[in-house]
Structure 1
Amino acid sequence: MIKCHLSRIMGEKKLKVADVARAIDVHRNSITLLYDETATRVDLDTLNKLCIYLKCDIQDLFEFLPE
């Protein structure tokens, strides 16, 4: 299972989904799916923009948990 920590990171920085989506020029639904951990696909460009905007590494966003 892959766990997405976007909601925790955004909460720590007090960021809203709409603000992040607007700032990185990505559709709000893409951020919402990651935030809610319901995304089945992730665009690499979106991940790149998120890491730059949030000043984090990819391993800060995602974690692999063996089942």
Structure 2
Amino acid sequence: MIIVRLDRVLADRKMKLSDLANEIDITVANLSNLKTGKAKAIRFTTLDAICKALDCQPADIMEYTNEEIERKD
């Protein structure tokens, strides 16, 4: 399972989700789905844009675990 830590990186950068969405030209809804772990996939171009905008590595915003975490959908 992939855990998305985008909220932590945004908080560290004192950046709002809407500001990031505007900077990388993606809808807030799509970015919100990614942040909450509801997205099924991410394009490398989107990941690249996020990493550039936040000056981070993919591992800073995503983590792999082999343990299942119960999601509240």
What code does the residue aligned with 1:45 have?
T
Residues matched between the structures, number? 67
Greater Cα shift, 8-17 or 50-59: 8-17
The separation in 2 between residues aligned to 1:59 and 1:21, in whole angstroms, is: 20
Structure 1: which 5+ runs fail to align? none
Q: Percent identity?
A: 30
| Matched residue, 2:25 | 25
1:3-42, Cα deviation, whole Å (9 max, x unpaired): 1110111112121111100011112122101111211111
What is the TM-score normalised by the length of structure 1?
0.90
Structure 2: which 5+ runs fail to align? 68-73
The separation in 1 between residues aligned to 2:40 and 2:53, in whole angstroms, is: 22
What is the TM-score normalised by the length of structure 2?
0.83
Structure with max Cα Rg: 2
The separation in 1 between residues aligned to 2:7 and 2:34, in whole angstroms, is: 8
The runs of at least 4 consecutive aligned structure 1 residues that moved more than 6 Å come to: none
RMSD: 1.0
| Matched residue, 2:35 | 35
